[in-house]
Structure 1
Amino acid sequence: MLIRFLIVALAILNLGVALWWMTPRPAPAAAPDVRETGVATLELLPMDAVGAGAPAVPAPTGAAATPAAATPAPTPATAPDAARAAATAAATPAAAVSAPQPSPQQQCASFGPFPSREQAQAAQAALRADLSRSQLREVQPKAASYRVLTAPAASREEAQAMARRIVEAGFSDYFIIAQGEDANAVALGQYRNREGAERRLATLVAAGFPARIVGNGVEAAASWWLDVAHADTASAADLHKRSGAAQRQALECARLR
């Protein structure tokens, strides 16, 4: 009896399921198509188009379609970069052409002595084409030696009294001149150059003893020298020979005006 009951129950259940499937039902509501603005979606093409090798083209939503395989255009150079490149290209050849050439190194010398200004000017004219600068320089006559003397005293006694005061002040190397136009003057040294005589004179004047410098011996005559500046492309020996001067001396170019 139990087996028969189970068979009947199973048959009823199968009949109920068949009736449920056969009963018409409303179609389920389709899910809303949610799309984000500006995002491309994939659309399926018909099979014949796919078989022909046509690519699937995404269709953007809410915006105009843009080819996916489009190559971006090259970005043009900005205005400052373009201007800088043009200026560099234009300036490079000009800079190479207008680059200053190094000037020849200058040398300076003095030619002389010339006994007159006219002879020095003639030498200057003969060398002018090879000179960048030149000047004439006069050299004053020089004495063979220099003496430092006090003013002549009125008598021998006054000269001796002056000598004693000079010695008491700490000076030595003196003698009293006995004759000549400087008689009764006190001589306080003889020097071969004027610089030494001027130093002796300064110490005497500072101590309160008026004195003077007197040239002694034969004086050399005045002379003229030609100071020149020339490029190293010209030979100093050749310029010396062409000047006709007896001597050539080195000269600092800073002294040449």
Structure 2
Amino acid sequence: MLTRALIVVLAILNVGVASWWLLRSEPAPATPPQPATGVAELRWLPGGTDAAAVAQTSAATPTEALHEREAAPSAAVAATEAPAPATPPPAETAPTANAAPAVAAAAKPAEPVAEAPAVAKPAAEKPAAPPRCVALGPFADRAAAVAAQGRAGSLLGPARLREQPAASGSTRYRVLLPAAASREEAQATVKRIVAAGLSDYYIISQGEESNAIALGQYRNREGAERRIAAVKAAGFQPRLVASGDAGQWWLEGQLAAGSEPKQAQQRSGAAQQRSLECTRLR
């Protein structure tokens, strides 16, 4: 019973293999490798010399036929490709006359490079000292302050004169003509004053200012200076005299670089010197 079953199975397998062999399709021919760019493509055409080669190949053994088929495309491709011209080797240049010195120079040991001396950095500049200002005085009148300014000279930079009025407010300013040599001469001067159109005058008859001519007395300096200007315009040379608690004059300015307040005080002849803010001079 088992033998019969094996025979039936083998018969079925034989029938299946025979059916597969008869119904199988031919294998697709292998795609030949694509030639490189710029190389002519090689195609196989039936007939002619190729047909005779195929007939000879079929008569050979299967192994030999396979080797001949693989060698045929390679031989055809090699026949169609043109051999590239070989690049000629570069001509050897003859050694020049400078070759020996160059070799000698290369063989000579390099001399040590001397380091450049370090450049000394300049010392940092010291910041400029702030300006200092000073007030010198007091002076009895403007003329004395002007004279002190001339004596101070270059020790004081931009300077100005400042009058400090008396605290009590009792200062009086008189305009006087210098004392004449005699009473008659003083009277002759008065006639000239009247002829010039000036008024408010009298002759001082006693004291140190005897025979001097007073041309007015004022509470403020501005009024006295206007009177002096009018008298000078008439051809006379008056002077200003402060009486009572007269004001004081001060010389204010900026000290020159490198100078000291004591030096400016001594040169100007001032009795005192005071520190002053420079912003007050602007």
Q: TM-score, normalised by structure 2?
A: 0.32
Q: TM-score, normalised by structure 1?
A: 0.35
In terms of fraction of residues, the more strand-rich structure is 1
